[in-house]
Structure 1
Amino acid sequence: MNEIPGETVQEQTFYEQVGGEETFRRLVRRFYEGVAADPLLRPMYPEEDLGPAEERLALFLMQYWGGPRTYSDHRGHPRLRMRHAPFTVDQAAHDAWLRHMRAALDDLGLAPEHERELWRYLTYAAASMVNSAG
Structure 2
Amino acid sequence: MTELADRADRAATLYEAVGGTEGLRRLSNTFYEAVLADLLLAPVFADFTPTHVEHVTVWLAEIFAGPADFTADLGGHQALLRAHLGLSITEEQRLRWMELMAAAVDKELPDDELLRRRVLEYFDWGTRIARDVSAASVGEDLGDPGPTPRWGWDGLA
Give the TM-score taking structure 2 as reference length: 0.69
**Distance in 1 separating the partners of 2:64 and 2:109:** 18
Matches within 5 A, 1:1-134: 12-47=12-47, 50-79=49-78, 80-110=80-110, 111-131=112-132
Return 5+ residue gaps in structure 2 as ranges: 1-10, 136-157
73-82 or 51-60, which deviates more: 73-82
Q: Which of structure 1's runs of 4+ aligned residues deviate more than 6 A?
A: none
Q: CA deviation at 1:12?
A: 2.6
How many angstroms apart in 2 are the aligned matches of 1:24 and 1:85?
Answer: 24
Counterparts of 1:75 and 1:109 in 2: how far apart (Å)?
25
1:78 is displaced (CA, Å) by: 2.0
The answer to whether the Cα contact below 8 Å between 1:63 and 1:69 also exists between their aligned partners in 2 is: yes
Q: What's the CA shift string for 1:76-130, capped at 9, x where partnerless?
A: 2223433212201111110121111111001024211111111111111112222
Other-structure match for 1:3? none
Q: Distance in 2 between matches of 1:94 and 1:17?
A: 26
> TM-score, normalised on structure 1?
0.80
Identify the range of structure 1 (53-62 vs 33-42) with the bigger mean alpha-carbon deviation: 33-42
State the secondary structure of the residue aligned to 1:130. Answer: helix
Q: From the CA coordinates, give the structure whose radius of gyration is larger.
A: 1
The answer to whether the 8 A contact 1:36-1:50 is kept is no
Give, in whole Å, the separation in 2 of the partners of 1:98 and 1:17. 20
CA RMSD of aligned residues (A): 1.8
Percent identity, aligned pairs only, is 27
Cα displacement string for residues 3-25 of structure 1 (whole angstroms, at most 9, x for unaligned residues): xxxxxxxx732211231112111
Question: 2:52 is aligned with what amino acid?
Answer: A
* Secondary structure in 2 matching 1:78: helix
Whether the 8 Å contact between 1:31 and 1:104 is mirrored in structure 2 is yes
Distance of 1:16 and 1:113 partners within structure 2: 14
Unaligned runs of 5+ in 1: 1-10
Return the alpha-carbon distance in structure 2 between the equivalents of residues 18 and 96 of structure 1.
23
> 1:76 & 1:50 partners in 2: Cα distance?
18
After TM superposition, the structure 1 stretch with the greater mean CA deviation from structure 2, 100-109 or 36-45, is 36-45
